[in-house]
Amino acid sequence: MEKIEQHINRMRTALQYISPQEAMKVLVAEDVKPEIAYLAIKAAQLANRG
């Protein structure tokens, strides 16, 4: 769980500079499972809105 939170926090920052598609590529390149990467990006997007 801690690892997912780290991904979310990193993606909150990353999404200010790159698109969600690019962020997905970064996570997948780091051997993060696609479904985990997707959830981390979606959570980061929601967190950035609030």
* pLDDT at residue 50 in the model: 81
pTM of the predicted model as reported, rounded to 2 decimal places: 0.89
In this predicted structure, what is the pLDDT of residue 21?
98
Closest CA to 45 of 13, 5, 22, 6: 13
Alpha carbon separation from 13 to 29, 42, 44 (Å, rounded): 18, 13, 8
Summarize pLDDT for 1-50 with one digit per residue, the tens.
789 999 999 999 999 999 999 999 999 999 999 999 999 999 999 999 98
